[in-house]
Amino acid sequence: MLFDLNPSLYIEIGRILFNLTDCVLVNRIEAPELEEIRGMGLDVILYEFRVNRIISSPEPIFTRDLCIYVFKREKRKRIERKLMRIMSLERNPNLDNRLKINEIEGEMLGYPECCISNFVELKRKCAMGKSMPPESKTIVECIESGVFSNIIDFFPDPSFYDDICSLFTSNFYPCSLKCKRAYDIGRKYMEELEEPYKTAYKCKIVSNAINLLVSALETYRSMKKPKTEFGLIVFEFFKDLDRKRFERVLKIADMFKADPIGFENGYIRMILKKRHTD
Q: Give the three-class secondary structure for 223.
A: coil
Is 147 in the same domain as 190? yes
Q: pLDDT means per 10 residues in the chain (278 residues)?
A: 97 97 96 96 97 92 96 97 98 97 98 98 95 96 98 96 95 96 97 97 98 97 92 97 98 96 97 87
Q: Which of 170, 244, 245, 250 is nearest to 217 (CA)?
A: 250
Question: Which residues have a Cβ under 8 Å from the Cβ of 222 and sit 6 or more positions away?
Answer: none
244, burial (CB in 10 Å: exposed 0-12, middle 13-18, buried 19+): exposed
87, 43: one domain: yes
Q: Is there a domain that residue 23 lies in?
A: yes
Report in angstroms the alpha-carbon separations of 125 from 4, 53, 57.
43, 15, 10
- Please identify, among 60, 76, 110, the residue that sits at the C-terminal boundary of a domain: 110
Q: Is 129 helix (H, G, I), strand (E, B) or coil?
A: coil
Q: Which structural domain, as residue segments, surrounds residue 32? A: 1-110
Q: Which residues contact 182 (CB under 8 A, 6 or more apart)?
A: 111, 112, 115, 165, 166, 167, 168, 172, 174, 175
Residue 201 backbone phi and psi in degrees, to 5: -70, -35
Regarding whether 215 and 273 lie in a shared domain, the answer is: yes
Residue 46 has phi, psi (to 5 degrees) of -100, 130
Q: Are residues 102 and 138 in the same domain?
A: no
Predicted pLDDT of residue 236: 97
In a domain, 266, yes or no: yes
Domain end, chosen from 110, 139, 169, is at 110
67 lies in the same domain as 170: no
Q: In terms of domains, do 9 and 144 share one?
A: no
Which is nearest to 236 in space by CA: 111, 151, 143?
A: 143
- Residue 124, in any domain of the structure: no
**Given this model, what pLDDT does residue 224 score?**
86
Has residue 116 been placed in a domain? no
Q: Are residues 73 and 133 in the same domain?
A: no
What pLDDT does 9 receive? Answer: 98
Tell whether 225 is covered by a domain. Answer: yes
Distance of alpha carbon 212 from alpha carbon 252, whole angstroms: 12
Kindly state whether residues 184 and 276 are assigned to the same domain. Answer: yes
pLDDT at position 246:
98
The residue count for the chain: 278
* Rounded Cα distance, 243 and 247, in Å: 6
Q: Are residues 269 and 157 in the same domain?
A: yes
Q: Could you tell me the pTM of the whole model?
A: 0.95
Assess if residue 187 is contained within a domain: yes
Total domains present in the chain? 2
Residues 235, 227: Cα–Cα separation, whole Å: 10
Residue 55 gets which letter from DSSP? S
- Count CA atoms closer than 13 A to 164's CA, side-chain side: 32
Is the separation of the CB atoms in 224 and 232 below 8 Å? no
Q: Are strands 42-51 and 62-72 parallel, antiparallel or unpaired?
A: antiparallel
Domain end: 110, 140, 165, which one? 110
Residue at 185 is within a domain: yes
Q: Do 133 and 271 fall within a single domain?
A: yes
Q: Which of 223, 215, 225 is CA-nearest to residue 249?
A: 215
204 and 95 in a common domain: no
Do 241 and 249 contact (CB within 8 A), yes or no? yes
Asked if the structure places residue 120 within a domain, the reply is no
201 and 240 housed in the same domain: yes
